[in-house]
Chains A and B, each alone.
Chain A
Amino acid sequence: MAESLVGLVVDEVEYGVEEGKIREFARASFAEDPVHTDPSVAHARGLSAPAATATHVVVAGHHRDQRAFVARLGLDMTRIVVGSVRWEYDRPLLAGDRLTGRRVVIADETREGKRGGTMRLVTLETTYTDAEGQTPVRQREVLIERGAR
């Protein structure tokens, strides 16, 4: 059995939340609320700039090397699926935010699959820190590696 990876820092990303990227992401997810695109609507709702959509931190994909982190975790890319994702918010992300996301392994378990083979479940938590050192959002994802047949 593979050694537990709990505590391993998988990767760290840093990026700015851009107005154009918010608009692109809102369109790609069929969001209609103008709070994502119109500064005056954002201001009227007490926000200093357009708000990102709820799952905006997914743009971290642009800043990560998927193959490298999967290899780092010792997982087989062809057998991985994402089982679930959870986001917790202290506030919405806004255009102009500068984020650092640190992704850490917080659980690493094996389970016997229903159809034989051992499944491995790796839980990763990314803590996003803003320029003030606050944590507006945390993301937790469970990767499932299906058993080799």
Chain B
Amino acid sequence: MTTTLQVGTALEPRTIGPITQTDIVRFAGAGGDFNPLHHDPEFAARAGFTAPIAMGQMQAGILAAALTDRVGVEHLRALEVRFVAPVEIGDVLTVTGTVTEVGDGVATLALAMTKADAATVVTGTASVGVPVTP
């Protein structure tokens, strides 16, 4: 995979959504997270939400894919995500990323996932191996 990562290089932003109950159920089935908070409206209401919310791992998976589609999953050395706020049905999510550091053949990226109102739902950092420039 050919890609150039230099300090300041930005990933092309990826926008996903509006998130549907079907998206959440699809991820639940893929990952095996059957916590009713993610599919049962009555349970979600008792937990204080207006509707079922997405599992944090869905946001993490979407964030990771936006990165690896660009840099190649085989070059990923580390990924860390912090969950800041829940994702609700109807949210439109945008993933952005910028290279903050390059050294010793590894690029560090700062990543974020925001909602349409610009509120951050996930922040992250990643380390990606980059070919050493001759």
Query: Which residue numbers of A lie inside 8 Å of B, CB to CB?
Result: 21, 24-33, 35-36, 45-47, 51-55, 58-64, 66, 78, 81-89, 91-92
5 contacts between A and B (CB under 8 A): A26-B65, A31-B61, A31-B69, A88-B78, A89-B78
**Do B80 and A28 touch across chains, with their CB atoms under 8 A apart?**
no
Pick from B29, B32, B72, B81: contact of A85, CB under 8 Å:
B81
**Do B56 and A51 touch across chains, with their CB atoms under 8 A apart?**
no
A31 to B72, CA, bound (A): 11
**Do B64 and A53 touch across chains, with their CB atoms under 8 A apart?**
yes
**Do A61 and B69 touch across chains, with their CB atoms under 8 A apart?**
no
A145 to B94, CA, bound (A): 29
Does B50 make an interface contact (CB < 8 A)?
no
A70 to B105, CA, bound (A): 40
Does B104 make an interface contact (CB < 8 A)?
no
A28 to B78, CA, bound (A): 21
Contact with A along B33-71 (1 / 0, CB 8 A): 101000000000001000000001110111011111100
Main secondary structure of the interface of A (DSSP, over half): mixed
**Do B83 and A82 touch across chains, with their CB atoms under 8 A apart?**
yes
Q: Which residues of the other chain, A, contact B60 by a CB distance below 8 angstroms?
A: 55, 58, 85
Q: Which residue of B lies closest to A144 (CB)?
A: B83
A26 to B67, CA, bound (A): 13
Assess A55 versus B30: contact at CB under 8 Å? Given A29-B65, A83-B83: no
**Do A45 and B31 touch across chains, with their CB atoms under 8 A apart?**
no
Pick from B31, B58, B61, B73: contact of A33, CB under 8 Å:
B73
**Do A31 and B65 touch across chains, with their CB atoms under 8 A apart?**
yes
Q: Which of B57, B61, B67 has the largest count of A CB atoms less than 10 A from its CB? A: B61
**Do B65 and A86 touch across chains, with their CB atoms under 8 A apart?**
no
| Seed contacts A54-B64, A54-B73; 4 additional CB < 8 Å A-B pairs | A21-B30, A28-B58, A33-B69, A35-B74
